[in-house]
Amino acid sequence: MKTGNRITLTYNLLVTGDSSAAADSETAGELAACLGEHFATPVTVPYGGGQADPPTRLVYLLDHEYTARGLSWSRLKGADASRAALLRTAAERAGCDVMLALAEIQETWDAYDSIDADPWYDHDYEEDDEDCESADDDEQYVLQDLIDSSITLAHWVAPEEKRPEEISLTILGTEVTATTPTADLTPYASEYEGYMGNYGNTLDRWYRRAALVIWPREQGFANRARASSAWALDKLDEMVSAEAVANARDAAQSMTPFWDTAARSGPQDQLLGRALATARGLDDADIAAMLLRPFQLERLIPDHASALADLASHYGDTWLADRLRDWSRAWHTGAYSYSPEMPEWLAELPRLCATLRSAGSAGTAIARRILDLSWEWFADRVRPSLTGPSTSSRDEWLTGQGRPFAGVLTAAAEAGSAAVLDDAVKLANADSDQVIVLVMATLRAAEPAPTDRGHDRGFDNLAIHCAEQIRASLARPLRTSDDWSIEPPSGCSCDVCETLGTFLQDPKRSAFEWPLAKPGRSHVHSRIDAAELPVRHETRRQGRPYTLVLTKTEALFERERSARRRNEADLAWLMQNWKIPL
């Protein structure tokens, strides 16, 4: 048909009234008994792990998908309404609370494409990938075994509430049950991975289902706190404000098994301020320490200064010093996390220290402790890069440390921390080109200092010593045109590197033909490239073993000329912007 008119009817279906159904009394009683048994039966740990404590909740998956906006007890669809009403009645009889939630489900299945007669069919990998993945649905794939699955709750709402609360809660398989298996439903997305040699022939499916979350009433606070750290802190504050401090302590202690994980997975920038105030209100040093343990030092901002000083006054300086040390442990290798925002936080450290100083002597003491921890981390991180040959990547990285270094020094001067300032000068006393790169970046970051105050003592000392190093470098005689010596890279003392070092240090040799097996050649290649040495390395594939041909290049001389021009420009800048004695 090539002519005519098309009519499209668009409409919305609206539910009026309450879609929930009445619960059968006898069935509800049986379910209540089942709930009691579920929460009293220890969990059997797979693979011979013995038995664990009884579950703290039950998650029953409903059949339909809902949006967060449409999640409502009165708008459940079809069989969901009658099942929810029945379980809600059973939960009430069993002394349990119940929530209506949205579940995000992912399942990974061992599967194969039904178009292939054999799951071990030898695929033609030269076939166009787009053609292989052109199917719009996954009905052509045959499911075999379930490999893995995960369930996360993203929103929930209590029967007496109207607006769903945003949460984040991962559910264990031992806590889940359903009338309809998830695999029998239609996924909203799926992805098939064909056989790839070591893995593949898997089908990932993603679903959204409503769910009922049930737990014993006495475990209500802990279950809700596990799902939302912000909710937990708000409730603790409400208890403290209502002078129910004992109840608040008991509730906080119930969070001990999971609080570290729950708080770290939440928005720490928002949670820390609440946690500081709540810790003070609990009036218990041990419980307060548990509540603050998951946070990190770089989450502190000037707005937290008053609460920190109040905590030090209430629980003591030693107690708060321990908390600050705990928060800094995340910075070290092997800790549970490392924030890439740390250098930026160090650059803004002067504002935090200035605000702490305004809180009095207690705040000044806290600022100095934060400075000590910050400097310890920064110095340990930078020190290994201040020795050895220069490389473009190392110089670029050290230049990026200028703002953090300037932030620490400015904060140290702000808080009157002579120890940090002195240690910073000692760090910069190392005689190397890398120190010049770091210090120059730091001094440039500190350039816009208030004119009425002049430059801080730490910066002045850095500038003076940096100028001395540059002058000493410029005073060295120029490399002669026949001097081909190169400083060898450090870090390895094997026989191959010893031979390489002998060649590099020889001022008369510019080329070296070296019969060397493949492992040795690979090692030399990596050492030269990592150190960015001005040496061309090629393999002449004749004879056995092949010959590695090393040739020193003219870049050796150009680099030194470029470094000298840079030193002259840096010294001129120092003389113009800092009080450098002639």
At 505-551, the pLDDT tens digits run 999 999 999 999 999 999 999 999 988 999 999 999 988 899 999 99
User: Quick one: pLDDT at residue 485?
Assistant: 94
Which letter, b or e, does each residue of 555-582 get, where b requires 16 or more Cβ atoms within 10 Å of its Cβ? ebbeeeeeeeeebeebbeebeeebebee
Beta-bridge partners for 511:
551
- Please tell me the distance from the alpha carbon of residue 319 to that of residue 147, in angstroms, as a whole number: 47
- Check residue 491 and give left, alpha or beta (phi > 0: left; psi -120 to 50: alpha): left
User: Quick one: pLDDT at residue 52?
Assistant: 83
> What does the block give as tokens for 343?
């250098």
- Please tell me the distance from the alpha carbon of residue 99 to that of residue 220, in angstroms, as a whole number: 11
DSSP 400-449: HTHHHHHHHHHHHHHHT-HHHHHHHHHHTTS-SHHHHHHHHHHHHHT-S-
| CATH 3.30.1370.50 domain residues, the chain | 495-558
pTM: 0.77
- Please tell me the distance from the alpha carbon of residue 110 to that of residue 199, in angstroms, as a whole number: 10
- Please tell me the distance from the alpha carbon of residue 470 to that of residue 443, in angstroms, as a whole number: 14
- Please tell me the distance from the alpha carbon of residue 59 to that of residue 61, in angstroms, as a whole number: 6
- Please tell me the distance from the alpha carbon of residue 161 to that of residue 570, in angstroms, as a whole number: 66
Angle 32-36-42 from CA coordinates, rounded to 5°:
150
Task: Please count the residues of the chain.
Answer: 582
Question: In the chain, what are the helix, strand and coil shares in percent, each to the nearest 5?
Answer: 50, 15, 35
User: Quick one: pLDDT at residue 461?
Assistant: 83
User: Which regions of the chain are under pLDDT 70?
Assistant: 1, 12-24, 48-49, 115-138, 196-200, 331-340, 447-457, 582
* DSSP-derived pairing of the beta strands 176-178 and 58-61: parallel
> What does the block give as tokens for 275?
């946690």
User: Quick one: pLDDT at residue 387?
Assistant: 80
- Number of Cβ within a 10 Å radius of residue 290: 18
- Number of Cβ within a 10 Å radius of residue 56: 16
User: Quick one: pLDDT at residue 127?
Assistant: 41
* Radius of gyration (C-alpha) of the chain in whole angstroms: 34
User: Quick one: pLDDT at residue 430?
Assistant: 78
- Check residue 50 and give left, alpha or beta (phi > 0: left; psi -120 to 50: alpha): left
Run of H or E residues at 97:
strand 96-113
User: Quick one: pLDDT at residue 143?
Assistant: 85
Pick from 373, 398, 217: nearest CA to 297: 373
Run of H or E residues at 550:
strand 547-552
User: Quick one: pLDDT at residue 20?
Assistant: 53
Q: What separation in angstroms does the CA of 8 have from each of 2, 11, 62, 87, 535?
A: 18, 10, 33, 41, 73
Which letter, b or e, does each residue of 114-128 get, where b requires 16 or more Cβ atoms within 10 Å of its Cβ? eeeeeeeeeeeeeee
What is the CATH code for 495-558? 3.30.1370.50
Residue 302 phi/psi, 5-degree rounding, is: -55, -30
User: Quick one: pLDDT at residue 15?
Assistant: 58
- Check residue 360 and give left, alpha or beta (phi > 0: left; psi -120 to 50: alpha): left
